[in-house]
Amino acid sequence: MFGLLPKNLEFFDCFDRAVQNAVHSATLLLEYAKVGDYRRNELVTAIMDAEHTGDRVTHETLDRLEQTYITPIDREDVYSLITRIDDVVDMIDAVAQRMMFYKIESVRQDFVNQCEVLVKASRLMGDAVTALRRMKELRRPKNGKMSLDQLIIAVHEAEEEGDAIHHHFLAELFDCGLDAFQVIKWKELYQLVEEAIDYCDDVACVVHRITLKNV
């Protein structure tokens, strides 16, 4: 009987909007890293707007959760998923604002590489979240597409790639001739991007937990 009760599938629309916004934010940060000071204010403003959009989607989702009796996945998973996605966007916003405050003009190539990993991780995270709508079907997809499990593993691998870049940077940071203040600035910026990638991996872990419960 309970299996026949209608479920509010609009939560999946909220998840899709949230991850699309996260990918957009990561792409803007990568563009900022590549162009440096050029278009700085425009790109930081766009990232701040995306952060506000993420907050609105999160609040709408949590409001819906309070008003909905039957949800398509467990209530605690709805909360965990939407807030973890929002964490990604919040951290990207923190990176962009730090770059503006620190007046970063010349961007290190390793930092650009790290931002590229963030974009990759966010896109894979987005694909995994979007796949939740058809999680039973996508555990064993056809036509050569990545399965949901493969998407989750790919996010983990991107997180490991980001770790490797971060560790390599830390190993060279104190031998690259930067003054102490520049070292402090870059160390924080790398750490923030690494945390954003880690949050993508956290989202993948939530997706994995949801699939274990529902497939």
Q: What is the DSSP string of 131-153?
A: HGGGHHHHTS-STTPPPHHHHHH
For the chain, give every domain's residue range. 2-214
DSSP state string for 24-62: HHHHHHHHHHHHTTTTHHHHHHHHHHHHHHHHHHHHHHH
Give dist(CA 26, CA 120) in Å, integer: 9
Q: Find the mean pLDDT for residues 200-206.
A: 97
Residue 83 CA to chain centroid, in angstroms?
A: 11
One-letter amino acid at 77 equals D
> For 117-136, what is each residue's pLDDT tens digit?
999 999 999 999 999 988 77
pLDDT score of 58 more than 50? yes
Rounded distance, CA 103 to CA 101, Å?
5
What's the average model confidence in pLDDT over 169-196? 83
Distances (CA, A) of 137 to 147, 150, 175, 215: 9, 14, 51, 9
pLDDT tens for each residue of 63-77: 999 988 888 889 999
pLDDT digits (tens, 9 = 90+) for 163-172: 888 888 877 7
Placement of tokens 């993420």 in the chain: 54
What CATH number was assigned to the domain covering residues 2-214?
A: 1.20.58.220
Average pLDDT estimate for 33-58? 91
Q: 108: helix, coil or strand?
A: coil
